[in-house]
């Protein structure tokens, strides 16, 4: 993608994500109509749909040749990432949104012919906007995030993952995950993929392990984390398919091989 074109797309995306955040803040204390989707823990609200509609309307009216792949039904069914594809989650961390009114984010990842070019994650209640343009660095608001420090051991690491991985599950043997927790310095569960990935970029955590998430959950944050040197793969170390749901690992490169080979591959079901 030509630099001038990418800058234009980025400026629009930044403007729209900030405006979407303002719309959410104005309605955060309104009575919520909460529905469930795939299961009782998979929530959606009218604000999720309104936010996605706002973003979809702006994307399609400004860039009619672009494609939208998104959570709440305003995007297209895509079989490839050819062209410019916006992968959008209007509210990532809906459970946090409903119960806490914080710790959720708007996530936008923009891909060109399969390559992540622009990432944005907006913690609209915390007022923090994480952004990245491929090859141009990652930022928290106006402050550039440093590249990940070169040296890190697993014993020094803090990892974020869903607590269900420590219970009986269909992804990884929970006993192997328990051994991983014993090895690392600490574990966290922010229950918002977009923010967890932004925290990897910021160095707040050193890795994020997902359990069967959708592409829109990780697209924006993955681009940001990768820009400071983090690496993202499936649990077996193979490349991520950004058109399919899956379990992924994004982490500091110094600990990736040990996590995959000593824990994830051994515990994979």
Catalytic annotation, residues: 71, 89, 91-92, 94, 217
- In degrees, rounded to 5, the angle at the alpha carbon of residue 2 between the alpha carbons of residues 218 and 52 is 35
Q: Are 200 and 225 in contact (CB under 8 A)?
A: yes
Residue ranges in 157-242 assigned as alpha helix (H): 174-183, 193-202, 215-227
Torsion of the alpha carbons at 135, 141, 144 and 148, rounded to the nearest 10: -80
Can you tell me the distance from the alpha carbon of 150 to that of 123, in angstroms, rounded to the nearest whole number? 28
Q: And the tokens for 67?
A: 């494609």
Can you tell me the distance from the alpha carbon of 260 to that of 244, in angstroms, rounded to the nearest whole number? 21
What are the CA-CA distances from residue 24 to residues 35, 56, 127, 130, 141 (Å)? 18, 16, 12, 18, 19
Q: Are 130 and 21 in contact (CB under 8 A)?
A: no
Angle between helices 46-62 and 3-27 (to 10 degrees): 150
DSSP state of 99: H
3-class DSSP state for residue 12? helix
Q: Look at strands 231-234 and 67-70 and give their pairing.
A: unpaired
């Amino acid at each position: 993608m030509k630099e001038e074109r990418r800058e234009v797309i980025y400026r629009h995306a930044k403007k729209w994500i900030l405006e979407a955040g303002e719309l959410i803040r104005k309605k955060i204390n309104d009575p919520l109509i909460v529905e469930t989707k795939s299961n009782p823990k998979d929530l959606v609200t009218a604000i999720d749909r309104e936010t996605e509609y706002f973003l979809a309307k702006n994307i399609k009216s400004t860039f009619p040749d672009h494609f939208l792949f998104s959570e709440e039904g305003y995007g297209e069914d895509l079989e490839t990432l050819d062209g410019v594809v916006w992968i959008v989650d209007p509210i990532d961390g809906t459970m946090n949104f409903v119960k806490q009114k914080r710790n959720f984010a708007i996530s936008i990842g923009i891909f060109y012919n399969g390559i992540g070019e622009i990432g944005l994650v907006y913690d609209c209640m915390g007022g923090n906007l994480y952004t990245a343009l491929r090859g141009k660095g990652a930022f928290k608001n106006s402050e550039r995030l440093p590249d990940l420090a070169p040296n890190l051991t697993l014993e020094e690491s803090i990892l974020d993952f869903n607590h269900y991985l420590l219970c009986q599950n269909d992804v990884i043997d929970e006993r192997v995950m328990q051994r991983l927790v014993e090895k690392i310095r600490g574990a966290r569960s922010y229950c918002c993929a977009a923010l967890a990935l932004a925290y990897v970029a910021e160095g707040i955590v050193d890795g994020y392990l997902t359990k069967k998430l959708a592409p829109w959950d990780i697209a924006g944050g993955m681009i940001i984390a990768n820009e400071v040197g983090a690496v993202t793969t499936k649990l077996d170390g193979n490349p991520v398919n950004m058109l399919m749901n899956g379990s992924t690992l994004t982490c500091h490169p110094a600990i990736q091989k040990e996590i995959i080979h000593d824990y994830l591959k051994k515990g994979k079901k």
